[in-house]
Structure 1
Amino acid sequence: MRTLILFALVGLGAQLVDGSLGMAYGVTSTTLLLAVGASPAAASATVHLAEIGTTLVSGASHWRFGNVDWKVVAKIGIPGGVGAFAGATFLASLDTSVAAPLMSAILLVLGLYVLIRFTFRGLNKQNLGKPMRKRFLGPLGLVAGFVDATGGGGWGPVGTPAILASGRMEPRKVIGSIDTSEFIVALAASLGFLFSLGSQGIDATWVAGLLIGGVIAAPIAAWLVRHVPPRLLGSAVGGIIVFTNTRSLFNAFEVADAVRWPVYAVIVLGWVAAVVHSWRVYRADTEAESVEAAAKLEQERRDALVAELSRDDDAVTAGRPQAPRD
Structure 2
Amino acid sequence: MIDFSAISWRDLAPFIAIGFLAQVVDGTVGMGFGVMTNSLLVALGLPGPAASAAVRTAESFTSGISGLSHALQRNVDWSLFGRLVIPGIAGGFIGVWVFTHVGIALMRPVVLVYLAAVGSYLLWRGPRRPQTFRRTRLVGTVGFLGGMLDASGGGGWGPIVTGNLLSQGANPRSVIGTANAAEFFVTVTVLAAFIGTLGLQSVTIAATGLVIGGVVAAPIGAYLVKRLAPRTLIVGVGGALVAIALFGLLALIFAPIPTFPRF
Distance 1:207 1:124, change over 3 A: farther
Indicate the percent of aligned positions where both proteins have the same amino acid.
37
Distance 1:71 1:233, change over 3 A: closer
Q: Distance in 1 between matches of 2:139 and 2:173?
A: 18
Look up the match of 1:250.
253
- The one-letter code matched in structure 1 to 2:181 is T
Look up the match of 2:151.
149
Q: 1:119 aligns with which of 117, 123, 126?
A: 123
TM-score, normalisation: structure 1: 0.67
Aligned Cα root-mean-square deviation (Å): 2.6
- The one-letter code matched in structure 2 to 1:119 is L
Look up the match of 2:142.
140
Look up the match of 2:189.
188
More helix by share: 1
Contact 1:44 1:151 in 2 (8 A): yes
Q: CA deviation at 1:246?
A: 3.2
| Partner deviation per Cα, 1:166-208 (whole Å, 9 max, x = no partner) | 33x42111100000000111011111111111134x3422111
Q: 1:159 aligns with which of 141, 158, 161?
A: 161
Q: Distance in 1 between matches of 2:107 and 2:255?
A: 11
Look up the match of 1:179.
180
TM-score, normalisation: structure 2: 0.81
Look up the match of 1:224.
224
Q: CA deviation at 1:244?
A: 3.6
Size of the alignment, in residue pairs? Answer: 243
| Partner deviation per Cα, 1:45-91 (whole Å, 9 max, x = no partner) | 11111111111111111111110112211221111011011101221
Distance 1:75 1:155, change over 3 A: same
Bigger Cα Rg: 1
Listed as ranges, the matches of 1:198-237 within 5 Å are: 198-200=199-201, 202-225=202-225, 226-227=227-228, 229-230=232-233, 233-234=236-237, 237=240
Q: CA deviation at 1:11?
A: 0.9
Unaligned runs of 5+ in 1: 254-326
| Partner deviation per Cα, 1:113-132 (whole Å, 9 max, x = no partner) | 4642443232674454x5x5
Listed as ranges, the matches of 1:67-106 within 5 Å are: 67-94=75-102, 101=105, 105=109
Look up the match of 1:275.
none
